[in-house]
Amino acid sequence: MYHGGMRVLVVEDEPKIASFVRDGLEENDISVDLCQDGDTGYEHASSKPYDAIVLDIMLPGRDGLSILRSLREQKNEVPVILLTARAELSERLEGLNLGADDYLTKPFFVEELVARIRAIARRASGENLNALEHGPLTVDLLTRQLHVVGKEIELTTREFNLLAFFLRSPGRVLTRTQILEQVWGYHFDPGTNIVDVYVRRLRQKITPNGEPRLFEAVRGVGYRLLEINDGE
pLDDT in tens, 129-158: 567 888 889 888 778 889 998 899 999 988
pLDDT in tens, 3-55: 346 889 999 999 999 999 999 998 888 889 999 999 999 999 998 889 899 99
Domain with CATH 3.40.50.2300 in the chain: 6-124
The single-letter DSSP state of residue 116 is H
Nearest to 81 by CA among 60, 49, 106, 46: 106
CATH code of the domain made up of 6-124 = 3.40.50.2300
Domain with CATH 1.10.10.10 in the chain: 131-230
What are the distances in angstroms from CA 158 to CA 66, 139, 152, 195, 230? 30, 14, 17, 11, 26
Sign of the CA dihedral running 175, 180, 185, 190? negative
The mean pLDDT of 84-102, rounded to a whole number, is 79
Contacts by 39-47, CB closer than 8 A, 24 or more apart: 40/11, 41/9, 41/11, 41/67, 42/66, 42/67, 42/70, 44/9, 44/11, 45/9, 45/11, 45/71, 45/76, 45/78, 46/70, 46/71, 46/74, 46/76
CATH number (1.10.10.60, 1.10.287.130, 1.10.10.10, 1.10.3720.10) of 131-230 reads 1.10.10.10
pLDDT of residue 60: 95
Beta bridge partners of residue 131, listed in sequence order: 140
